[in-house]
Amino acid sequence: MPKITGRSLLEHRNTTRRRLMDTLDALMTERGFESVSMSDVANHSGIRRTTIYNHFTDKEDLLIAFVEEKMSSYLSTTRSMLRGVDSSIDRIRIYVRTQLLAERRYLMAPGPPLKDVISPDAGRKLGQHIRQTSDLLRTILDGAIADGTIPDQNVDVAITLINGALTGRRVPQEEPARTDFFLYAEQFVLQALGGSMPDDPTDLGAVPAGELAYSPSR
């Protein structure tokens, strides 16, 4: 019988799943999803394959759980920043900032794009999770159009272009370059939407602690 880690079976289950997802993340970053096997996950996590299959049916099932967790973290962080913010301009700026800071290791991993190496069923499930980010942006843009912050436009195309522009950009770590980068990116997106950056923009502060998930791209 495997050793129970944690104060309860639920805690043990969550700890095991966390180790498996962290292992998949590390292996995908190193070699790409296509080159990772369940044996690799078992060897690197120290968890037996028979135990892994008590949690995930295959590596695609593990991947879907991993993305779901990351997406939940991203949405939670972004919605927390949006809560209580009434200005459509600042809501767009918050989305830009959290997208720039979003982790994207598995999308940028070595090897073929993820969408080319997973099954259609896994692709549909991942798409359902990733579309939540676009749905959030859609809500923000619809509100900005409704209050006249930006003109009426093709929101679907705007979402595609905004996410494409923000994905994979290296954010400077040192100040003042970091803040300047955020402000310019926010201004760029607002102007592209037909809006404008205020002369004295509100200080949005730092993104709350906690890992952000991945944006819909590639």
**pTM score, two decimals?**
0.81
> Looking at the structure, do residues 215 and 110 belong to the same domain, yes or no?
yes
How many C-beta atoms surround the C-beta of residue 163 within 10 A?
18
- E-only strand ranges, the chain: none
pLDDT tens-digit map of 57-106: 999 999 999 988 888 888 998 999 999 899 999 999 999 999 998 866 65
> Looking at the structure, do residues 106 and 5 belong to the same domain, yes or no?
no
pLDDT tens-digit map of 170-210: 899 899 999 999 999 999 999 999 999 988 888 887 765 44
Asked if residue 19 belongs to a domain, the reply is yes
Q: Which of 3, 117, 9 is nearest to 60 (CA)?
A: 117
**Structural domain harbouring 123:** 67-218
Backbone phi, then psi, for 78, in 5-degree steps? -65, -45
Rg (CA), the chain: 20
Distance of alpha carbon 100 from the chain centroid? 10
For residues 53 and 41, give the distance between their C-alpha atoms in angstroms, rounded to a whole number.
11
Q: Would you say residue 157 has pLDDT above 50?
A: yes
For residues 58 and 119, give the distance between their C-alpha atoms in angstroms, rounded to a whole number.
12
CATH code of 100's domain = 1.10.357
Distance of alpha carbon 111 from the chain centroid? 20
